Amino acid sequence: MPEFNNRKPMDLRRRGIYLLPNLFTTGALFAGFYAIVQAMNMRFEHAAVAIFIAMVLDGLDGRVARLTHTQSEFGAQYDSLSDMVSFGVAPSLLMYEWALKDMGKLGWFAAFIYCVGAALRLARFNTNIEVVDKRYFQGLPSPAAAALAAGFVWVASDRGFTGQELQWFAAVLTVFAGLSMVSNLRFYSFKDFNLRKSVPFIAIFLLAMFFVLISSYPAGVLFLLFMGYALSGYVLWLLGLRKPRTSEKS
């Protein structure tokens, strides 16, 4: 008992959990859980939108923690577990319930490839966080892979297609996203963008036009956006293959 009384108030505060950033992480986790529930209830568009909401909340928690200087090891681990639910389990279950379950073993095998790919991607990110180049991600980030799967379901459902009609496309896309996450391809991280740096006026105008474009048809624009990002790693890889040959000729 005396030992407890001798502790400083600062030591006790440090043992607590920062509320603000973990509140965003909890919101992302809830959105992922909600997506799972909606997928099981055959409300696939609701599930897809919930995954995108989880993406937004997941992008905010880390930035809020850095801005408020409330980073913690607990927050990092909690965020990783939340990502596994929202960007690993939820998208794979969504794709399985929407299109893959009628394919038998091939269907659940494709969904599992995505799920295990997300788990391995998150584990590798946590262990290599101090090693890799900050400008690039090693492998497709799990939120981008989840957006690719959710965007496909969203745009297909919005256009009146059923999962059974597109089950082979869904299977290929699911496996593609899963394998891309565990690949060694480089994907631009956008972490070197300095939001405090002044930009030309035209940049603000283009940003406003970007939001107008998304609002015009969110499902299609977001799917094409993340499909382009998923293919960008392969483009960088192909460009990297050409460089050594060019230097040898010169």
Q: Is 69 left (phi over 0), alpha (psi -120 to 50) or beta?
A: left
β-pair partners for 186? 138
Contact (CB, 8 A) for 85 and 31: no
Higher-confidence residue of 179 and 65: namely 179
Q: What is the pLDDT of residues 193-236, one digit of tens each?
A: 665 666 677 877 877 888 888 888 999 999 999 999 999 999 99
Contact (CB, 8 A) for 164 and 62: no
- pTM given for the model: 0.84
Token pair for 170: 């869904």
Question: Looking at residue 70, what DSSP letter applies?
Answer: -
Tokens 């269907």 belong to 107
Query: How far, CA to CA in Å, does 237 sit from each of 74, 186, 231?
Result: 35, 7, 10
Class (C level, CATH) for 18-249: mainly alpha
Q: Can you give the residue ranges of every domain in the chain?
A: 18-249
pLDDT score recorded for residue 76? 85
245 band by pLDDT with thresholds 50, 70 and 90: low
DSSP H helices, the chain, are 2-5, 9-14, 19-40, 44-67, 73-84, 90-95, 105-127, 142-158, 167-181, 201-216, 218-249
pLDDT score recorded for residue 20? 80
Which residue type occupies 185? L
DSSP-assigned letters across all residues of 99-139 = IIGGGTHHHHHHHHHHHHHHHHHHHHHHHSTTTS-TTEEES
Close Cβ partners of 137 (under 8 Å, ≥ 6 residues apart):
125, 186, 187, 188, 189
Q: What is the pLDDT of residues 32-77, one digit of tens each?
A: 999 999 999 999 999 999 999 999 999 888 788 778 877 888 888 8
Q: What is the pLDDT of residues 129-150, one digit of tens each?
A: 665 667 888 899 999 999 999 9
